[in-house]
Structure 1
Amino acid sequence: MSAMTEVPQPETAFDEVLNAFAELGNDADPTRVELVTSEILGEWWEADDDLAAGLIDLAADTAEPERLVAPLAALRVLATDEDQREAAALALEKFGLPEPAWAARLNQVTPGQCWRTTDVYGDESSVLVSFGDHGLVVSINYGSFGGWVTDAAIVESPQDVLAELRAVGESAEIAPEQAHEVIADAFAGTEWQAEPEVGEDFVRFRALALARLRTLPEPAEVEEPEPLTVEEQAEIIDSFFAAAGDEVGDTEDARVVALRLIEFGLEHDARQPLRVGPAKLESFVDFVDDGQIELTDEQDAAMAALLPVWARVFGDRQGLPEDALTALVEAVEDRLDDRDPEEESSLDAYLTGSEDLTPEDVQDLLERRQFALPSLTVETEDDEVELDPSDPEQRRMLVLSEFAAEFDDEESELRAVALTTVVDQLWEGEPAETWIAAQRLTESGLERDEVLAELTAVLEEHLTYDEDGELEFDLDDYVAALDELDPGAEDE
C-alpha cells in the first residue's frame, strides 16, 4: 500500500468541508458561499463519489451538530439531488440550532432577460440568463444526446458576455420558460453520458448553475415529436439518392448507411432528425468508430463515400449559405480522413487501384475482393501476419493458408492451381463472368466455400497441359461453362 496513492477516507473529506465552512464564517457573502459549495459538489461529481449523501447521514449521530449546520444549510439549497435537499432541510430542523446569516439568502435571485445564440448549423448554442448583477451562461453541443451542456459558468457582466456571443452566432431573446427547458434538457444530455467531455468551469459551476435553473419558471408541457414512419424514412432515402445522382452509388450498403443516419437523427436530434452540421455528423462517425453504430466493412466503405454527399444534399435543403455548406463538407471529409489508419489499413488494401472508379464501381470492387479474400492474415507459429493481396504470390499464400486442409496430397495440386486462379480472377475482375457466376450461386443459397468449389471445379475441367508442361485453358470455353452453371441443377 505504501507505494500507492492513498484515497482520502470520507471522514477526512468531511473534515475538510467542515473546516472550509468554518472559515467562511456566519457573515460571509452568499455568493461566496454558493461558489465554495458548488466547487465542493463539483469535485465530488467529477470523482463520481457522491459524498453529499454521507455528509447528510452524518447528521444523525454526530457529536458536534453545530459544525454541520453551515454545510447542511448550503446543501439544503445547492445539492443537485432533490431528495438530498429535503434530507438536509429535515436534519437542520431536527438540530434546531441557529443558522448562519447567509443561509436564508442563498439562491435568492430574480431571473431577468434571457438570450440564446446559435451557430449557422444549429450544432452549437449558448443560453445566457441575467440575474441583475451577474448571469448564467450555458454552452450546449447539439451533435448528439439531444443536446448536452459542454460548459457552464456564472459571469459578472451579462451584457458584455452577450456582446461576445452575438459576435459568433445569431442571437434572440427568449422567454425564461424556454431558457429553463433548453438548459434542463441539455443538462440531462450531459448526465446521460458516462464520461462527458466538459470544461473546467462546468465542474466548478454545475451545482450553482442547476440552482439558478430552479429559479426560472417551469415551461409548459411540450409534446414529443412524432417519429418518422418506415415509409417516410424510405421516401427520404429515395429522395437523397435521386438528389445525389452519380456522386454516390445507390447500393444496398449505401442505403443501410443512409438508414443509420436517419436513425441517429431520430435518437439524438428528434425534433430535427435530418439536420446536418459538423458536430452532428462527426458524432455519427464517432459512434461508428466506437462500435455504438454497427456497420459491416462494406457499409463502412459506403459511409466514406456517402457522408460528404449527405452533408451537401441536406445542408442545401437546410438552406445553408454556400460558404457554410462548403465548410461543412470539408469538416466531414477531414473527420473521415482522421480515422485511425490502423482501422482502415485492411480496407485500403482491398481498394488498391480504385482511384478512378465511380462510387458504385468501388462498392462492387470491394464486395468482389472481400468475397475472394475475406481475411488478409495468415497464422504462423508465433503470430498473425498481414499479407498484401495485390501481390499475386502473397495472394496465393492467403488462399493456400485458408484451404490448407484440402491440399494435403499430390492429387489435389491441380485443384489448388484452379482455386488460386479463380481467386485471382475474382480479385482482378477478369473475366467478369467469374464474379457474375459467383453472385448467381450465392443468391441461390450457397455458402462462399461452396461457391468457390463450384467455380474451381469448372476451371479444373478446362485445365490442360501444353507442350512445355504448363497449365492452360481456353478462355471462351471456360466463360461459356461459367454461363451454363445452374444453381438449381442439383436440386432437380
Structure 2
Amino acid sequence: MFDELLQAARELLAVRSPLDAELLVSDLLGTWWPQRHRTLGGAGVEQIVGEGLIEYAAQRRSPAALALLSGIACLGTSRQAIAAEQAAIALIDDGVRAPRWAEYLGAVSPAECYVNPDEWGDQDEVICVFSYAGEEPHALVSVIDYNAAGMIRDGWVSSQVDKLLDHCRSASARSGTRPDEGFREIDAPQARKMLQAALAATDAAEDPPVSEAFAARHAFIRARIRALPPAAGRAGRPKRAWPPERRALLAAEFLASDEAEELSDRRAASRCADLIIDFGCDQDSGRPQRMSPAKVQNFMLGYLPRKVLLSVADQNAMPHAVGAWIRWSGRIRGLSDAAVGQTLDTLFDSMATFSRIYRDPAEFGLDEKLVARLLPDSDLEALPRRAFAFPILEGRHGGVDLSKLDPSDPSDRRLLLAADHDTRTGSPSAAGVGRHIDRHLALADRLWRGSPSALWDAAQRLLDTGEDRHMVLHALMDVLDAAGGDETALKTALRELATGLSDDDLNGLTNPDA
C-alpha cells in the first residue's frame, strides 16, 4: 500500500503550482480518512498508515518521496508534520532535489474572509481567501450544515476569487436579505472559530454525511484553518449554553404571542414549546428561533420519534405548536411570506408521516409506569440501554418493594442492582458481593447517561454475538477498569470490543472467571 501511495506521489514532480501540489497531497492523505476511527492494537489509522507512510518514504530517498514528505509536513496531523519535516530535511541533506514549489509550502497567508448564509440559515458557506506571498490567490469554500450538527459537509477551492465573490454579492442583493444576515465579510479569527468547531464535529462523527469529495479535501481544509489567526482573549471562547431561565423566558414570550393564541391545550403547548426550544438550543447551535423546511422535517420525523417520549396530548398538540412557532419566529426574524409558507408546507406534509411513525412504548406492550421510571427526562432513545442496565424494577428484595425505587436515584440504584445480582446468583448480597455491586453501579451510571455512546454500541455488538447479558456486563466492566478513567483509552477499547474477534477471543473477553 505504501508503495502504491508513493507511486501516486510521482505526479507531484510534474506540477509547478504549490496549490496544485497541496491539493494532490490532500487527496492522498484523504485515502484513509473514512477509516480514521479504526484502531489496531490501540493505534489509530493516522498513526499506522500516516506515520508509517512517512517512515516508508524516508527510506526511499527519491524526489517523489521528498515531494510527498514536503507536502505532509504542511498538511498532515501535528505528529505527521513534525516527522515528515525531519525526514524531508534528511533527504535534502543527502542531496535529493526538492521540487521548486516546495519552497512556497507553509508560506500561505490569509486575506479576507466571508460568510454566505442561505435564506433559512440551514447552512453557511465560509469563504477564506489565501495566497502565497501575494501570488496565486485562491479561495477555500467550506459548507457548514447546521441540520447536521454544524458539520463541514463539503469544501472546494477556486482560483477565480473575484468572480466567486462577485457572484455571491449579486445573489445576496437579488434575494433582498438584510446586510447583516446576507453575504458579508467577517474577520479571520471568527472564520477560524467557526471552521474549527465545524471540522471537529465532522471528525468526531463515525459516519458523517459529507460529500464524496470531502475526504480528498479534508487535510487541505485542516491546514488552511491552521493558517488563519486565532481569536485573542475572550473573543475566542465558546458561547455559553442557553440556561434554563433564558429558555423559559423564550417559551413565555411565544405563548403570549398572537400566533400561539389559537392553541387550545395551553399545558400541552407549553411542553411542546419547551421541546422546540431544547432542540434549537442543543441541536442547532443555540438558535431556537430559526426554522426551515429541513429543520422542521428533522424535528418532526427524526428527533421526536427517536428521542422524545410524548404523551397522547403532546402528540396531538405538537404539529399545531410547531406551526404557530414557525409563524411567530418567521415574523420575529423578518422572513418573507414565501419562506414561512414553504416551511409550513413541509410541516403539513410531515404530519401524516409523524402520526404513523411515532410510537408510544405502550403500543409495544411496555408498562407505562415502568417506562416513566426509566425515562424521567423523556429521552426515548435511552430506553433500551436503561432497561438493559436495570432489568428488575418490580417485586420485593430484602423486604424492600422494588416498585417504589427510583432508578435515577443513586441510592435506589444499588438496591435494584443487588436484586438483579441475587436473582441471577440465587444468593443474598454479602460484603464481597457489595464491592462487586460497586462495579455494576459505575457501569449502570454510564449506561443511564449514555456516556460514552460507544459503551452501548459495544454492548449491542456483544449481544449480537449471542452472549448473555451477565457476560456482556462483565466484559464492559473489565474495559472500564482497564481504562482507569482515561476517556480516550476507554472509547478506543470499546470500539475494538467484539469487532473482528474469534469465538475464543469473545469467550475470554466475556468470561468473568477467565
State TM-score, norm by structure 1: 0.60
2:80 to 76, 81, 84: 84
Query: What's the offset of the Cα at 1:296?
Result: 4.9
**For residue 177 of structure 1, what is the amino acid of its counterpart?**
P
Q: Render the CA deviation track for 1:141-161: whole Å, top value 9, x for unaligned.
A: 22352x222211011212222
Q: Which residue of 1 aligns with 2:249?
A: 235
Q: Render the CA deviation track for 1:196-231: whole Å, top value 9, x for unaligned.
A: 222233232221122222222222333443444433
Superposition pairs of residues 88-99 of structure 1, within 5 angstroms: 88-93=84-89, 96-97=93-94, 98=96
Q: Does 1:218 align with 2:230?
A: yes
Q: Which residue of 2 aligns with 1:66?
A: 61
**For residue 15 of structure 1, what is the amino acid of its counterpart?**
D
Other structure's SS at 1:143 match: helix
Q: Which residue of 1 aligns with 2:105?
A: 106
Matches of 1:115 and 1:130 in 2, distance apart? 9
Range that drifts further, 305-314 or 242-251: 242-251
Q: Which residue of 2 aligns with 1:317?
A: 332
**For residue 143 of structure 1, what is the amino acid of its counterpart?**
N
Query: What's the offset of the Cα at 1:311?
Result: 1.3
Matches of 1:332 and 1:130 in 2, distance apart? 39
Q: Render the CA deviation track for 1:398-434: whole Å, top value 9, x for unaligned.
A: xxxxxxxxxxxxxxxxxxxxxxxxxxxxxxxxxxxxx
Other structure's SS at 2:206 match: coil
Matches of 2:356 and 2:215 in 1, distance apart? 35
Change (3 A) 1:288 1:86: same
**For residue 268 of structure 1, what is the amino acid of its counterpart?**
Q
Q: Which residue of 1 aligns with 2:9?
A: 21
Which 4+ runs in 1 deviate beyond 6 A?
none
Query: What's the offset of the Cα at 1:119?
Result: 2.3
Matches of 1:66 and 1:94 in 2, distance apart? 9
Change (3 A) 1:214 1:222: closer
Is the contact made by 1:136 and 1:154 (CA closer than 8 Å) also made in structure 2?
A: yes
**For residue 163 of structure 1, what is the amino acid of its counterpart?**
D
Is the contact made by 1:107 and 1:212 (CA closer than 8 Å) also made in structure 2?
A: no
Change (3 A) 1:19 1:270: closer
Matches of 1:73 and 1:62 in 2, distance apart? 11
Is the contact made by 1:129 and 1:136 (CA closer than 8 Å) also made in structure 2?
A: yes
Structure 1 spans left out of the alignment, 5+ residues: 1-12, 348-369, 378-444, 446-492
2:263 to 248, 253, 256: 248
Superposition pairs of residues 65-464 of structure 1, within 5 angstroms: 65-67=60-62, 68-79=65-76, 81-93=77-89, 96-97=93-94, 98=96, 100-101=98-99, 102-131=101-130, 132-145=136-149, 147-169=150-172, 170-220=182-232, 221-243=235-257, 244-288=259-303, 291-296=306-311, 298-337=313-352, 339=354, 343=357, 375=363
Query: What's the offset of the Cα at 1:137?
Result: 1.1
**For residue 189 of structure 2, what is the amino acid of its counterpart?**
E
Matches of 2:90 and 2:80 in 1, distance apart? 15
Change (3 A) 1:144 1:256: farther
Query: What's the offset of the Cα at 1:17?
Result: 0.7
Matches of 1:65 and 1:290 in 2, distance apart? 56
Is the contact made by 1:77 and 1:106 (CA closer than 8 Å) also made in structure 2?
A: yes
Q: How many residues end up aligned between the 2 structures?
A: 337
Higher helix share: 2
Q: Render the CA deviation track for 1:30-81: whole Å, top value 9, x for unaligned.
A: 22321221112223113446356434235557893315433222211111x2
Matches of 1:197 and 1:38 in 2, distance apart? 20
Range that drifts further, 153-162 or 234-243: 234-243
**For residue 231 of structure 1, what is the amino acid of its counterpart?**
E
**For residue 100 of structure 1, what is the amino acid of its counterpart?**
A
The CA RMSD measured in Å over matched residues stands at 3.3
Query: Which structure has the bigger radius of gyration?
Result: 1
Query: What's the offset of the Cα at 1:180?
Result: 1.9
Query: What's the offset of the Cα at 1:15?
Result: 1.4
Matches of 1:260 and 1:160 in 2, distance apart? 43
Matches of 1:179 and 1:129 in 2, distance apart? 8
Matches of 1:32 and 1:226 in 2, distance apart? 41
Q: Render the CA deviation track for 1:432-491: whole Å, top value 9, x for unaligned.
A: xxxxxxxxxxxxx9xxxxxxxxxxxxxxxxxxxxxxxxxxxxxxxxxxxxxxxxxxxxxx
